[in-house]
Amino acid sequence: MTNSFRCYQVRKQEPKEITAGVVSVPYNNLPAGEVTIRVVYSSVNYKDALAATGNPGVVRNFPHVPGIDAAGIVEASDSERFQVGDKVVVTSYELGVERWGGWSELIRVKPEWIVPLPEGLSLKESMILGTAGLTAAMCVDSLLHHQITPESGRVLVTGASGGVGSFSLSLLKRCGYQVTAVSGKPEYHQRLLDLGADEVVDRLAIDISSDKPLLKGHWAAAIDTVGGSLLSHVIRSIQPQGCVAACGNAGGAQLDLTVFPFILRGVTLDGIDSAWYPIEKRAALWQKLATDWKLDDLESRAKVITLDQVSQTVHSLLKGTHQERTIIQVGAE
């Protein structure tokens, strides 16, 4: 085992200056934990971009290593569940937030955070999916759990040009649903049709100004990645016994609603928390993503960069100009 390893480290200089870049650190800098993993791939998410700039809502302690996703090979293990050489996936929990994350050649984590890489997925494919793909799978699973079938009617996906939204529409299409995608990026509309949307609606074409407690029921269900006033509009537009799986707040954290969609139409608002989703359910969804829900075009859905190229991607993500899923090849398989 090496005496040091490379990672993308975020540091805070007094009084408030944040610096970040690839550095080499001693092996004993790894946090405590039973399983050490040699990372082969990680990914770049919006939360990671915030961490890379020292955002206090994400990073509590410095120095810090971002990366809420990691896929790699077990290097050392004190857990009976995992052996040296096992291929594994870790997403969310405290990774990249409370604990040093996947933008590192080595990570050390608790065994209860680890999912064995399912047969049918490569390490690379697992990171193309990452937290975004897993969250999308959780949303689709929520609709199925609430008896929303393809025969129930059309499903709306908001924020469809984002990672969770685009994976959601593709998974819904694979499961046989008719999908309407909402996106505020006109230049991305054709891509959404290519990914499986039956129609694309421009975000600005949706009138969210009405204060009526109930609107015409357009949708059997929805997956909302935006939150705020758009989510409020969507909930009021769901048909009786419909369901909304909500997983984002880019459009705001407040909801202006009455109870009427819930008590007059029986609408369910199901919150999706990918960070602390139980490991048993997590493993089951990864298995689906490797088999029945396996997307045929995974390789075409991501750009691959190295650790040394991360800063440029972070910049474009925070500016809102980044449009493609990006994964980081950290090491060799």
Share of the chain above pLDDT 90, in %: 83
**Integer angstrom CA distances of residue 248 from 47, 49, 60, 67, 136:** 12, 16, 22, 19, 11
Per DSSP, the residues of 230-252 read HHHHHHHTEEEEEEEEE---TT-
Per-residue model confidence as pLDDT tens digits over 62-83: 999 999 999 999 999 999 999 9
Indicate the domain borders of the chain: 4-120+297-329, 131-271
Q: Which residue bears the tokens 């819930």? A: 262
Contact 8, 107 (CB under 8 A): no
Task: Answer yes or no: is pLDDT of 323 > 70.
Answer: no
Per DSSP, the residues of 86-137 read -EEEEESTTBTTTB--SSBSEEEE-GGGEEEPPTT--HHHHHHHHHHHHHHH
pLDDT band at 180 (very low <50, low <70, confident <90, very high): very high
Q: Report residue 329 as tokens.
A: 């090849």
- The CATH code that applies to domain 131-271 is 3.40.50.720
pLDDT the model gives residue 45 = 92
Task: Answer yes or no: is pLDDT of 4 > 70.
Answer: yes
Per-residue model confidence as pLDDT tens digits over 110-121: 999 999 999 999
**Secondary structure class of 152 (helix, strand, coil):** helix
- Which overall architecture, per CATH, does domain 4-120+297-329 show? Alpha-Beta Complex (3.90)
For the whole model, what pTM was predicted? 0.95
Share of the chain above pLDDT 70, in %: 99
